[in-house]
Structure 1
Amino acid sequence: MSAFRWLLGALTLTLLAPSVEAWSEGYLSGAELTRLYNSGVFEAERMKQPLGSSSSMVGPFSHSGVRVTLADGSRWLIHKGQNFGISSQTVVVDARHMSSDWRVVKVRDFQGRKTVGDFVATGGSNYNFLFDNCHWASIRMMDQ
C-alpha cells in the first residue's frame, strides 16, 4: 500500500509542476518541486480576501486559502479554485505574490508534522462551487 501511495504522490508532483511558482522566477524543477512538497509545515494561517472590488469577505464574496511557513522561513499560499491547476484545482504559489487584501482568519502550529504535499492532498484535486470550494478546502487543511 505504501508503494502505491508513493507512486501516486510522485505522479501528482509531476503533474502539478506547471502550477507551482519558483522561489525566484518561472517554475520549479522536478527536484525543487519534490523538495517543496516534502517540506514540513511549521505554521499555517487560514486566510481570506474579498473577491474583485468588493470589500466584503462573506461566503461567496470572498476567496480563502492557507499560507504555510516552512523551516527555511519561506511562505507559500495553498488555495483552490476552478481552473486553477492542470491536474489539480488545489495549487501552491509563492506567498510573495499575495496582495495586501488577504487577512488572517486562523493560525495553527503544525511543528513540521505535516508537509506541503499533505496540505495539497487535503485541499483536493476537484472543485465544486457548493460542496468542494476554496472555503471547504482551507478548513480541511487547517483541521488535518
Structure 2
Amino acid sequence: MSFKTALGLLLLAVLAIVSESSSGKEKGPYKYDLSNKSDLNKLYNSKVYMAERFTRPLNGMPFQIGILSHSGVRVTLHDGSKWLIHKGDDYGKSSQTIVVYGRHMSNNWTLKEQKDFGGSKTVSDFVKAGGEEYKLLFDNCHNAANRMMGD
C-alpha cells in the first residue's frame, strides 16, 4: 500500500469524527464536528500528551461488569483539547475507530488508566492502533483501547 493510499485511509477514519450522544452512537446522517480538510489534517497530526482509558456501561444497561461495557481512550493534545477515540460496530463510515470531541462523553464513563505520552504519539497513531474493522470477539472496543494504550 502506498503512503498516499494509507494517508487517505487514515484521513477517512478521522473523517468519522461524528457527534455522538452521551448514551451512545448516533445513527446517520453523520454530523461532523470538523469537516474542513485543514482542520482534520491538523487534528490527525496533533501530538498526544496524555491518554486516559475509560469504560462505560453498554447502551441500555445501567451498570457495567467486566467486558459487558464499552471502552475508549480520551487523549489530551498540546492545546489542552480532549478527544475521545473509540471503536464500535457501525460507528464510522470507512473505519469503525472514530474520534469525537471529549465534550461528547457523558458522566457514565469511568477512568481506568492514565498514561503520559509526552507528545511521542499522534492522534493518527491512536486511530491506527484502534483498527478499521470491528469484530465482537477478536477486535472490539476493549482490544482497541488496550492497543492504543500500548498494552
- State the TM bucket, normalised to the shorter chain: 0.7 to 0.9
Q: Secondary structure at the match of 2:149?
A: helix
SS of structure 2 residue aligned to 1:143: coil
2:62 to 44, 54, 61: 54
- Indicate the structure with greater helix content: 1
Q: Which residue of 1 aligns with 2:125?
A: 118
Q: Confirm or deny: 8 A CA contact 1:40 1:115 kept in the other structure.
A: yes
User: Identical aligned pairs, as a percentage?
Assistant: 49
The question of 1:80 aligning with 2:87 is answered yes
SS of structure 2 residue aligned to 1:19: coil
C-alpha distance after superposition, 1:61-106 (max 9, x if no partner) = 2000000000000000000000001110000000101000001100
Cα distance in 1 for partners of 2:148, 2:130 equals 6
Q: What residue in structure 2 maps to residue 11 of structure 1? A: 8
Q: Which runs of 5+ in 2 are unaligned?
A: 20-31
User: Deviation of residue 20 (structure 1)?
Assistant: 1.1
Cα deviation, 1:26-70, whole Å, max 9, x if unaligned, reads 4331110000010000000000001123212421x2000000000
Q: TM-score normalised to the size of structure 2?
A: 0.84
Per-residue Cα deviation, 1:7-39 (whole angstroms, up to 9, x for no partner): 1343124423542158xx743311100000100
Answer yes or no: is the 8 Å Cα contact 1:17–1:29 preserved in 2: no
For residues 101 and 16 of structure 1, what CA distance do their matches in structure 2 show?
25
Assess, with a 3 A threshold, how the Cα gap between structure 1 residues 102 and 76 changes in structure 2: closer, same or farther: same
Aligned residues: 138
Distance 2:14 2:73 in 1: 19
Q: Hey, which bits of structure 1, 4+ residues long, moved more than 6 A?
A: none
Gaps of 5+ in 1: none
What is the rounded CA distance, in whole Å, between the counterparts of 2:148 and 2:14 in structure 1?
Answer: 20
